[in-house]
Structure 1
Amino acid sequence: MKEILSLTKLFINESWGLSQFLYNKANNKKEFYKQVFTLIIVPVALIPAFFMYVFFMIALYAGLRMINQVSVFLSISYIMTVALILFFGIMYVLSEFYFSKNIEELIPLPITSGKLIIAKFFSILIPEYVFAAFLFAPALIIYGVGEGMGVIYAILSLLVFLTVPVLPLAMLTVLIMLIMQSGSFNGRQDVLQIIFVFIGMALFIVAQIWFGNQMGPSENVDFQILMSSLLANNESLLNTIGYFVPTSLLMAWALNKITLMSFVWSAAIIGLTLLLFALMVAVGKQVYIKSIVRGKSQKKGKPLSGSERQKVLGKKSHKAMAVFTMDLRLLFRTPIYFFNNVSIVIIVPLCLLIMFPFLDLTPEDYESIRSFYRELPLLVNFALIGFFIFFGGTSAATASTFSREGKASWLTRMVPVSAADQIIGRTGVAVLIQSMGIVFTLVTARVYMPISIFSMMLTIVLGILGSLPILLFGLFMDMNRPLLDWDNPQKAVKNNMNVVITLFVGMAYAGVLIAVSGLLGYFVMPWLGYSFFSAISVIMTIVLYKTIDRNLETRLLNFE
């Protein structure tokens, strides 16, 4: 057990950079204060969201209590927590088990595979407990206080809480290990990771829509009859949900009413958790190390002939295009970069496209939407512009452009390209990603609104123009404080404060600019609003471009 705890501490240290934090405290005060600032500002920024979530859960509890269905409250919270753990756990399991470099150094050591697997699982589990505490603990407290539960409920709820992240992560780890051990994926783990993430997102969206459709009242069911049924049977919703997630039933039976059977159901959840954990370890012993060793045997491509090699080496391209190609290839070659930069422009339009059919809108509703656009095209256009800017602001393409290169950033300092080429090439990648989101959104919007070609062109131009200052601000931030010292690529994006600062500053700037421009266009003249928006965007773009162009060369030489 001591060896497992030591390995767990090692893996957590590598994931969160604790040793680097302590080293900076003693030897690099400037970097230490930056890390402390990050540790303070991120939780502070999340406080409003947390309180909104707590208020939502209180309102949900009150609403369920009014219709005599409070028994389903804990099950809803449990299912939501488990679903999110599964969704985000895909990246964590793949990153820790298959993409961290420490496993290559530990395999030759006299450490059993079982201990390695348990330690890696624990290193993922500990931060997941923090995540589960923010999501599930408020529900346990709200229910306990609202129903007047006592000490026994507090003890049993703590035991149940300890099983919440283990069950989904153990099942997910087993599934990933079984798939990754297949010889057909040798050398393609990066592609498989991307596939895993998007399959997970698709299943999450489809399940959410299907579940909501199943839970919603049918057109043939009278609403009063439905309400009478709910009021008469206070576990009707609980039984319905239990068919989809059986463990939520065990959890509800254990905590909804404290009886002698509560101990039996709690023991059943704990036993099931230990069983799945043991299964995960047993499967891992059989396939994990073998899949790691096999995965190192990368498949080689077809060798080039002499003439073909000379042709490839002799190709030349514009310097800005070379930077663009280099940054784009790095983005698409590393799954965590691809997911954080590209997924948003696919998911959001997809959600909009599949959401409307499930809203049961009548032809009159669709006609009302079209009439609103015909009467107030200005508001719709600025809404679309804001949506397009959102794609640029949420992308970490420029805010992590140098950080993504990590210790290989010395190559950027050696290549003979000007600062202008660097700016154009790296910003162009972000614009390309944003353009994908714009196209998907317009295709979706055109299905429901008669958007004219002129409005489409106008919103595209202004959307890209309005996002340029945000993209350049992200480049400016990463130029001045790049995160180059990382051993896991997800740190370059996930642990990069430049991305967070760019997001908050960019969205605040875009919100104010769109609000002022929209008011000018609505109360004075539409073209005045568009002109004001364009003028401010151009001025801010030029100012930021000149600032970066003037300082980029110096900053590159000072990279550490």
Structure 2
Amino acid sequence: MEKVISLIKTDFNITFGLSSIVYSFKNKKNRWQMILIGFAFLSLIPTYFMLISGLVKIYDAYRQIGQQSMFLLNGFLASQMLVFLFGLLYVMSKYYFSNDLNQLVPLPIKPSYIVGSKFVTLMFSEYLTSLPIILPFIIIYGIKGSEGIVYWIYSLLLTLTLPALPLVLASILVMIFMRYTNVKGKKDLIRIVGAVLFLIILFFFQFKIQSIAQKALMKGDNFFFDLVRDSNLLVKKLGLAFPPSMWGSLALSNYSSIKGFLYLLLFIGIAVGGLILMLFLSEKLFYDGLIGNIEVSAAKGKGSRKVDLNKSTKEANPSIAIALKEIKMLFRTPIYLINSIGGVIIVPIILVMSTFVNGEESMEPIRLILEGKPYLITLFGIGLIIALGMLSSIGCTTFSREGKNFWIQRTLPIKVEDQIYGRVMASLIIQLMGLVVLLVSMSFITNIGLSSIFWISLLGLLGSIPMTQLGMTIDILRPLLDWDNPQVAMKQNLNVLIGMGIGILYEGGIVLLVIFLVKNNIGINLIYGLLVLIFILFSYCLFILLKKLINKQFQLL
């Protein structure tokens, strides 16, 4: 037990940087960054309160039909699914790509101790994801319904255990996945392709189950009679998408009866049972998936070989060399690849899948909207491609991903212009993958013409250049270079949050401009031309700014 407690303390310090936070408060030079983080969170408060006011209206709507428990299901389902999805990424990074494993694995420590300590740390990390989502649902339900003290006790227990089961499921799936994809020489490629396919299949079944439940519910002859008779009808039917969320909702909505207590025991019991199963499986799977992550290949044959330096090396264009280096870094580090390419590829598929899986009738409203206005699908495609440039986080982590090797970039005989061209080029290559997936996905919804394909491709990629440059500007001003886990460079980097905020303002401004032009009956070709001019102008101005900033920061850092 002492070993586990010691591992948890160490992992907490590494993950949350407790020593670093204390140092930052003491160090006056870094204090402004802590203040900036505080202001960043404060700036989100008005938006958060607007969302809460919208939730109050949703609760009132459910209350009018006597299905308040469905309101709770929405909260549990949203929070637990997000914990599960983020957990897949966090678990893979935390369990298999953390630098502390080099010291932990040789020690006489059971795999279950290592996995267990990291699981506890992940639980606390996931509270940052789950609490802001679930608490408004619980508080609104409790206050508006004037619920008793037992309700609040149940709420506390459910909230504390809420991330456990999704993280357990994520941990088991990742350990099995890593164990059976640990194929010599090809494991990274297999794991990357497998991870993307796994997420797509997961979303497909999730949407399919929910679609089946909705259709079965609405086709019932006595639907409205059953709705009045059973206040938990919607929860029981739609909760099939993820049963644990249904158990949590029913525990709270029936807290005054023995039924609610039994659902509470089921919710907590399954989470505890899952944790025990995960620790048991870690003894069988963890080391088999971990050992062999670092492969060393030796040259065949005996003795030394003469190497012709002129034949083994060749001069390349500096900007292309930088772009290739960036792409290789993304592809060789699975956690980078999943975070950058995963969203770019999966998001368009999910958007289409959520509509396509519900059948032809669900796509009819979309076709009616597009009828006579084919340019709407083009504008939507352009906006989505630009948004994917923000979601990929490639620009706002491009220097942070260098880590302790950042000094190499400063000493290379490469012009600053080539640094900019290369890093932007790498981002566009990833965007090109998302573009192809988007165009293929959109073809399942509507007949997309060559003109739409041309404008989505041109304006989508052109508009992504300023998005990447904005991220690069933020990252060069405050690069996160001191990290021991590649996840930190992308998932725990404040630059990503700042980049998304500025990216939303950038794309929001473009969207508002396009809406204004469309409402004033400006020709669509003129709008396309204006967007080309705006994107080129933005790109040039940001290029000049980046050139000065990189020159300055390369001398200071």
Q: Same fold (TM over 0.5)?
A: yes
Aligned mate of 2:168, from 166, 170, 192:
170
User: What residue in structure 1 maps to residue 150 of structure 2?
Assistant: 152
Q: Does residue 24 in structure 1 map to residue 24 in structure 2?
A: yes
Kept after mapping to 2: 8 A contact 1:67/1:231: yes
Question: For 1:192 and 1:250, how far apart are their aligned partners in 2?
Answer: 36
For the Cα contact (< 8 Å) 2:80–2:245, is it kept in 1?
Answer: no
Q: Give the structure 2 partner of residue 134 of structure 1.
A: 132
- Residue 154 of structure 1, CA deviation: 1.8
After alignment, is 308-317 or 351-360 more displaced? Answer: 308-317
Q: Could you say if the C-alpha distance between residues 196 and 163 of structure 1 is closer, same or farther in structure 2, counting changes exceeding 3 Å? A: farther
Aligned partners of 1:83 and 1:204 also within 8 Å: no
Instruction: Specify which of 201, 216, 223 is matched with residue 226 of structure 1.
Output: 223
Give 1:215's aligned amino acid.
A
Query: Partner amino acid for 1:510?
Result: E
Per the alignment, residue 214 of structure 1 pairs with 212
Q: What CA distance in whole angstroms lies between the structure 2 residues aligned with 1:144 and 1:498?
A: 37
1:212 and 1:75 mapped to 2: Cα distance? 13
Q: Which residue of 1 aligns with 2:382?
A: 385
- Work out whether residues 416 and 551 of structure 2, in 8 Å CA contact, stay in contact via their aligned partners in 1: yes
Contact 2:200 2:350 in 1 (8 A): no
In the alignment, which residue of structure 1 is the partner of 2:339?
340
- Distance change (3 Å), C-alpha of 1:220 and 1:331: closer
2:348 is the counterpart of 1:353: no
- Per the alignment, residue 66 of structure 1 pairs with 64
Residue 317 (structure 1) aligns with: 316
* Cα distance between partner residues in 1 of 2:286 and 2:295: 17
Match of 1:421 among 418, 422, 427: 418
- Describe the shift of the 1:96–1:187 C-alpha distance in structure 2 as closer, same or farther (beyond 3 A): farther
Equivalent residues of 2:397, 2:472 under 8 A apart: yes
The equivalent residue for 1:295 is 292
- 3-state SS of paired residue (1:372): coil
The correspondence of residues 227-376 of structure 1 with structure 2, limited to 5 A, is 227-241=224-238, 245-248=242-245, 250-257=247-254, 258-260=256-258, 262-289=260-287, 291-292=289-290, 294-296=291-293, 298=295, 300=297, 303=300, 313-357=312-356, 358=358, 360-361=360-361, 368-373=368-373
Contact 1:74 1:140 in 2 (8 A): yes
Q: Secondary structure at the match of 1:142?
A: helix
* Alpha carbons 1:21, 1:32 under 8 Å: kept: no
Could you tell me how far apart the structure 2 residues matched to 1:93 and 1:16 are? 16
Amino acid at match of 1:508: L
**1:463-489 CA distances to partner (integer Å, 9 max, x unpaired)?**
322332222222222222211111111
1:26 and 1:189 map into 2 onto residues whose CA distance is 45
Cα deviation, residue 407, structure 1:
0.5
1:89 is matched with 87
Moved over 6 A (4+): none
Mapped to 1, the partners of 2:241 and 2:365 lie a distance apart of 33
- Partner in structure 2 of residue 33 of structure 1: 32
Superposition deviation, residue 548 in structure 1:
2.5
3-state DSSP of counterpart to 2:486: coil
Q: Does 1:483 align with 2:483?
A: no
Deviation at 1:330, TM superposition (A): 0.5
Matched, 1:516 2:513: yes
Contact kept in structure 2, 1:187 and 1:297, CA below 8 Å: no
Structure 1 partner of 2:15: 15
The CA deviation at 1:141 is 2.6
Amino acid at match of 1:101: N
2:436 to 435, 439, 452: 439
In 2, Cα distance between equivalents of 1:219 and 1:8: 46
Normalising by structure 1, we get a TM-score of 0.86
Structure 2 distance, partners of 1:414, 1:363, is 55
Structure 1 CA distance for aligned equivalents of residues 280 and 321 of structure 2: 48
Distance 1:388 1:288, change over 3 A: closer
Q: CA deviation at 1:429?
A: 0.8
Task: Tell me the amino acid that sits aligned with residue 66 of structure 2.
Answer: N
Give the TM-score normalised by the residue count of structure 2: 0.87
Contact 2:213–2:240 under 8 Å retained in 1: no
Instruction: Read off the aligned partner of 1:54 and give its amino acid letter.
Output: I
1:161 aligns with 2:125: no
Task: Report which stretch shifted further, 9-18 or 71-80.
Answer: 71-80
CA positional deviation for 1:244: 5.4
Q: Which moved more, 1:397-406 or 1:549-558?
A: 549-558
Distance 1:97 1:39, change over 3 A: farther
* Shift in alpha-carbon separation, 1:531–1:260, aligned structure 2, 3 A: closer
* Contact kept? 2:92, 2:335, Cα under 8 Å: no
% identical aligned pairs: 29
Distance apart, 1:373 and its partner CA: 2.2
Which of 359-368 and 345-354 deviates more? 359-368
How far, CA to CA, are the matches of 2:72 and 2:473 in structure 1?
46
- Residues 96-148 of structure 1: CA distance to partner in whole angstroms, max 9, x if unpaired? 22111112213444555443332211111112233222222333333333443
Which whole-Å CA distance do the structure 2 matches of 1:246 and 1:366 have between them? 31
Distance 1:159 1:45 in 2: 31
Q: 2:75 corresponds to which letter in structure 1? A: S
- The C-alpha deviation readout for 1:334-371, integer Å capped at 9, x for no partner, is 12221222223212321233244326438975763453
Instruction: Identify which range, 156-165 or 109-118, moves more after superposition.
Output: 109-118
Per-residue deviation, 1:544: 2.0
Displacement of 1:90? 1.0
Output the amino acid matched with 1:349: P
Q: 1:212 to 1:45 in 2, by over 3 A?
A: farther
Task: For 2:215 and 2:17, locate their aligned partners in 1 and report how far apart those are by CA, in whole Å.
Answer: 50
* Conservation of the 8 A alpha-carbon contact between 2:386 and 2:463: yes
SS at match of 2:397: coil
Change beyond 3 A, Cα 1:191–1:61: farther
The gaps in structure 2 that reach 5 residues or longer are none
